């Protein structure tokens, strides 16, 4: 296999502290692969102790990156040209933004992938990630328009001899149990 650094692939010859920022950047973006035991130019140099390297990365991730990212990492040892390397598959996390705990949720602690590099996330990027993953689901947001009639729906239900009142709207998720319409009901 040919190893080449890209937007979705990072190469490291050994485990270094800098690996945390690469892992964070992948987890904050689209994810992808990190290979340890491969130089920046793609030359496979291998590792004497691939299991130790994988354990070192796992401990580093568990101890230094917040929120917990361990469930989004999978590592395996590969044989290349008679040498062992570690391939770490990093998925995009669901609790973004991820950051180095000691540096906090600031640009110097959170990273994103930009081209072939992992760079500090801007404050705007950090806010965007928080908004994307904060748990507020579009369907659960209160609609600003509360004077809805649903006449077309009432007509369709009536033609089929099916009740369509508050109880049915609550069951369908159009209305909360408090009688408030959701944003999805006003579209």
Secondary structure (DSSP) of 21-63: HHHHHHHHTT-EEEEESB-TTS-B---S-HHHHHHHHHHHHHH
From the list 32, 38, 34, 24, the residue with the least C-alpha distance to 67 is 24
Asked if residue 4 belongs to a domain, the reply is no
d(CA 140, CA 181): 9
Judgement on whether residues 156 and 119 belong to the same structural domain of the protein: no
Show the CA angle centred on residue 109, arms to residues 74 and 20, nearest 5°: 30
Cα 141 to the chain's mean position, in Å?
22
Count of CB atoms within 10 A of residue 159's CB? Answer: 8
From the list 65, 55, 54, 83, the residue with the least C-alpha distance to 22 is 65
Per-residue model confidence (pLDDT) at position 177? 75
Asked if residue 2 belongs to a domain, the reply is no
**R_g over Cα of the chain:** 24
Out of 118, 133, 148, a domain closes at 133
Asked if residue 69 belongs to a domain, the reply is yes
3-state SS, residue 137: coil
Name the residue range of residue 143's domain: 139-186
Residues in the chain: 187
Q: How confident is the model at residue 17 (pLDDT cuts 50, 70, 90)?
A: very high
Judgement on whether residues 67 and 120 belong to the same structural domain of the protein: yes
d(CA 6, CA 46): 20
Asked if residue 31 belongs to a domain, the reply is yes
Per-residue model confidence (pLDDT) at position 175? 82
**How confident is the model over 54-76, as a mean pLDDT?**
95
Q: How confident is the model at residue 133 (pLDDT cuts 50, 70, 90)?
A: confident
Tens digits of per-residue pLDDT, 152-186? 989 999 999 999 998 888 888 888 777 777 765 55
Judgement on whether residues 20 and 104 belong to the same structural domain of the protein: yes
Judgement on whether residues 125 and 174 belong to the same structural domain of the protein: no
Max CA distance (Å), the chain? 74
Contact 132, 29 (CB under 8 A): no
Q: How confident is the model at residue 22 (pLDDT cuts 50, 70, 90)?
A: very high
**What total of structural domains would you count in the chain?**
2
Pair of tokens at residue 61: 């991730």
């Amino acid at each position: 296999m040919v190893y080449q650094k890209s937007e979705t692939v990072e190469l490291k010859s050994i485990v270094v502290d800098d690996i945390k920022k690469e892992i964070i950047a992948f987890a904050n973006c689209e994810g992808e692969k990190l290979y340890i035991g491969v130089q920046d130019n793609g030359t496979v140099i291998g590792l004497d102790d691939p299991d130790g390297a994988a354990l070192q990365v796992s401990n580093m991730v568990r101890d230094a990156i917040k929120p917990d990212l361990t469930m989004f990492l999978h590592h395996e040892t590969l044989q290349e040209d008679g040498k062992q390397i570690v391939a770490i598959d990093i998925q995009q996390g669901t609790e973004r933004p991820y950051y180095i705990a000691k540096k906090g949720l600031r640009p110097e602690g959170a990273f994103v992938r930009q081209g072939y590099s992992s760079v500090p996330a801007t404050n705007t990027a950090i806010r965007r990630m928080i908004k994307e993953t904060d748990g507020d689901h579009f369907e659960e947001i209160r609609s600003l328009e509360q004077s809805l009639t649903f006449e077309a729906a009432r007509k369709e239900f009536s033609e089929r001899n099916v009740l369509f009142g508050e109880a049915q709207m609550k069951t369908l998720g159009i209305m909360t149990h408090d009688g408030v319409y959701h944003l999805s009901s006003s579209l």
